[in-house]
């Protein structure tokens, strides 16, 4: 099938590449000319495992095209996806300006009956707004063209996006007509071969499904961080508690890891947006508010542990902290809403210096922070330790899991590790004569 995708970010680029990989003819359109030029020359703008060779192979096979020419792109697609950003508005609602701008562009260029599919994460009711924006443009040019707006939320996770896209747990299709459902079923047939993964529903339910999924995952994380904070107070070890509850299949092992708070481009904004939607419809979503405030507090927790160790903030002046991990989670270079950003700012505010290393987010950190006093971006975990007083682990990259603790003791002047992801066993660290602070590990009180 001929597919057009507006937006060549994490979602648009991965989706377009996977659809091309199963044989569809895909045009990806973006307003960012530098990104499009780069992609046409084989430069992949994001780090995502497995993506680069797939983009190059499908581009070379003439099934995956990149353009800034919206008119040609609209003309190409039997199905047109909208996969642009939906950042938070000032009040936390999803800002639909990019989605509606694409809708108007589609309306200006639409030449024949088409299914327009919203893949961006958008509040319930957005399909109606997209439909109205397209209809307005069609009316302005006196065109009478049948079109339908469907919802097909995306569930891929950064860091494993290609795998998620090629082997989805489920494909949610929200549509109001059999024609649209049939078209999307045919599009996704190659991903639905060994068992049924497609769930068909009405548009509003599909729009809400995406928020419900992210809000549930964020809730699990905040719940576990709450338990971790209680564990710290009462002298219990949350890692033992985690093992004690995860074995219950009703609870399960996923997303019950305590840590330095969730970040990324989705959980924070989606929990907030769902809360705003509820509010607009006259419902106070108390649980969602609590999920957010627990997370906000948790992002400051590593710094609290650091202050606790050093006695007060003043003692941090001119200390140097090695920071391992800047991305909001492993296997991505994405630093949007990352816990590291809060921590670094708190350390700088206290007059401390940072030597940071992240396997993939170094260039993103350079872009976010620029050249500034108090930050040295290092090109290895060991390089970050040079001249450091203490180590803080913020992102659980695999390569940080088994450090040489003897080496750490020799390198860290103050002989202390703050482990924001509970990667280490306190006994092992303490056996190397290093002080250890984890999350929710009561013995470190």
The binder of ligand NAD chosen from 16, 17, 21, 30 (CB under 6 A)? 30
Residue 6 in contact with ligand NAD, rule: CB under 6 A: yes
Interface with ligand NAD in residues 269-298 (CB under 6 A) = none
**Three-class SS of residue 67?**
strand
DSSP per-residue string spanning 133-147: HHHHHHHHTT----E
Spatial distance between the Cα atoms of 258 and 143, rounded to a whole number of angstroms: 55
Q: Contact letters (x/-) for ligand NAD, 211-250, by CB under 6 A?
A: ----------------------------------------
Binding test (CB under 6 A) with ligand NAD, winner from 101, 135, 287, 368: 101
User: Phi and psi for 266 in degrees, rounded to 5?
Assistant: -115, -60
How many C-alpha atoms does 304 have within 13 Å on its Cβ side? 13
Rank residues 165 and 377 by Cβ distance to ligand NAD and give the closer one: 165
| Nearer to ligand NAD among residue 102 and residue 206 (C-beta) | 102
CB distance 98 to 85 below 8 Å: yes
What is the rounded CA–CA span in Å between residue 307 and residue 328? 23
Determine the straight-line distance between the first and last CA of the chain, rounded to whole angstroms. 60
Which positions from 55 through 84 interact with ligand NAD, judged by CB under 6 A?
A: 83-84
Give the Cβ contact number of residue 1 at 10 Å.
15
In the list 85, 92, 123, 258, the residue contacting ligand NAD (rule: CB under 6 A) is 85
CB of 131 to ligand NAD, least distance (A): 17
User: Applying CB under 6 A, does 331 fall inside the site for ligand NAD?
Assistant: no
Q: Applying CB under 6 A, does 102 fall inside the site for ligand NAD?
A: yes
Contact status, residue 330 vs residue 396, Cβ threshold 8 Å:
yes
Q: Which residue has the tokens 């800002």?
A: 95
**Site track for ligand NAD across 249-268, x = CB under 6 A:** ----------------xx--
How many chain residues bind ligand NAD (CB under 6 A)? Answer: 26
Whether 266 is catalytic: yes
**In the complex, minimum distance from the CB of residue 444 to ligand NAD, in angstroms, rounded to a whole number:** 33
Closest distance between ligand NAD and the C-beta of residue 405, in Å? 35
DSSP secondary structure string, 153-164?
A: -----TTSHHHH
Q: Give the contact letters, 174-203, x = binds to ligand NAD (CB under 6 A), - = no.
A: ------------------------------
- DSSP H/E element including 59: helix 51-60
Q: Which of 3, 4, 10, 295 binds ligand NAD (CB under 6 A)?
A: 10
Residue 260's SS3 state is: coil
Tokens of 398: 């695999």
Give residues in contact with ligand NAD (CB under 6 A): 6-12, 29-32, 35, 83-86, 98, 101-102, 120-121, 154, 156, 158, 265-266
């Amino acid at each position: 099938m001929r597919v057009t995708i507006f937006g060549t970010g994490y979602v648009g680029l991965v989706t377009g590449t996977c659809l091309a990989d199963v044989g569809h003819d895909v045009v990806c359109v973006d307003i960012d000319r530098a990104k499009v030029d780069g992609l046409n020359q084989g430069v992949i703008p994001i780090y995502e495992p497995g993506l680069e060779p797939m983009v190059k192979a499908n581009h070379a096979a003439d099934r995956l095209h990149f353009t800034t020419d919206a008119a040609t792109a609209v003309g190409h697609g039997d199905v047109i996806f909208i996969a642009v950003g939906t950042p938070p508005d000032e009040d936390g609602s999803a800002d639909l300006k990019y989605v509606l701008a694409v809708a108007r562009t589609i309306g200006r260029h639409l030449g024949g009956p088409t299914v327009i599919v919203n893949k961006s994460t958008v509040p319930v009711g957005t399909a109606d707004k997209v439909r109205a924006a397209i209809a307005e443009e069609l009316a302005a040019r006196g065109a009478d063209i049948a079109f339908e707006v469907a919802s097909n939320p995306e569930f891929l996770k950064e860091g494993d996006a290609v795998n998620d896209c090629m082997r989805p747990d489920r494909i949610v299709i929200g549509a109001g007509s059999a024609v649209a459902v049939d078209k999307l079923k045919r599009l996704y047939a190659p991903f639905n071969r060994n068992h049924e993964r497609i769930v068909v529903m009405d548009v509003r339910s599909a729009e809400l499904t995406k928020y419900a999924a992210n809000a549930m995952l964020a809730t699990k994380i905040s719940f576990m961080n709450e338990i971790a904070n209680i564990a710290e107070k009462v002298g219990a070890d949350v890692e033992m508690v985690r093992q004690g509850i995860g074995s219950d299949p009703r609870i399960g092992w996923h997303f019950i890891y305590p840590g330095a708070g969730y970040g990324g481009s989705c959980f924070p904004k989606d929990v907030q947006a769902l809360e705003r939607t509820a509010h607009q419809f006259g419902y106070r979503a108390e649980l969602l508010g609590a999920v957010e405030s627990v997370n906000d507090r948790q992002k400051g927790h590593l710094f609290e542990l650091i202050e606790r160790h050093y006695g007060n903030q003043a003692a941090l002046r001119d200390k140097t902290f090695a920071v391992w991990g800047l991305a909001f989670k492993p296997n991505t270079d994405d630093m949007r809403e990352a816990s590291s950003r809060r921590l670094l700012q708190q350390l700088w505010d206290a007059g401390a210096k940072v030597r940071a290393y992240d396997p993939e987010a170094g260039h993103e950190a350079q872009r976010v922070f620029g050249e500034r006093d108090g930050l040295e971006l290092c090109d290895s975990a060991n390089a970050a330790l040079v001249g450091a007083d203490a180590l803080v682990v913020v992102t659980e990259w695999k390569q940080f899991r088994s450090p040489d603790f003897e080496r750490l003791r020799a390198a860290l002047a103050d002989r202390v590790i703050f482990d924001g992801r509970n990667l280490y066993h306190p006994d092992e660290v303490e056996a190397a004569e290093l002080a250890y602070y984890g999350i929710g590990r009561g013995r470190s009180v």
